Amino acid sequence: MLADDMACNARNKYPVQVFTNEDHRLNLYGDNVEKDYRGYEVTVEKFLCLLTGRHDAAVPRSKRLISDENSNILLYILHMLEFLIRSYHLQDSSWR
């Protein structure tokens, strides 16, 4: 999930690339970065559905987190974490 897709931003001089420094030796996107959600597709509800496995039947398998009790998942979240947690706890029982 990328709320801000800098590599594909129109202002990026190097389309589909993000570098760590000026000599451009390391492209952080590499050749095999997969994004299932980007920009306006990234919402609190979709993120929570992804983590909990509570999806509509219409959500394709490619947009689901296929994991089990042996999976290791790393979440790197900038900003909005407090809002995300608060939103989760405020959901009524009808939330899917």
pLDDT of residue 57: 92
For position 48, what pLDDT does the model report? 84
For 72, the 3-state DSSP assignment is coil
Q: Which residues of the chain have pLDDT under 70?
A: 1-8, 30-35, 76-96
Residue 46, in any domain of the structure? yes
Alpha-carbon gap, residue 2 to 92, rounded angstroms: 27
Looking at the domain assignment, is residue 77 inside a domain?
no
Query: Which pTM value belongs to this model?
Result: 0.50
d(CA 85, CA 90): 9
Model pLDDT, residue 49? 87
19 pairs with which residues across the strands? Answer: 27
Output the pLDDT for position 93. Answer: 46
Question: What residues make up the domain containing 13?
Answer: 1-68
Look at residue 76 in the predicted model and tell me its pLDDT: 65
Provide the domain count of the chain: 1
Q: What local confidence, expressed as pLDDT, does residue 79 receive?
A: 62
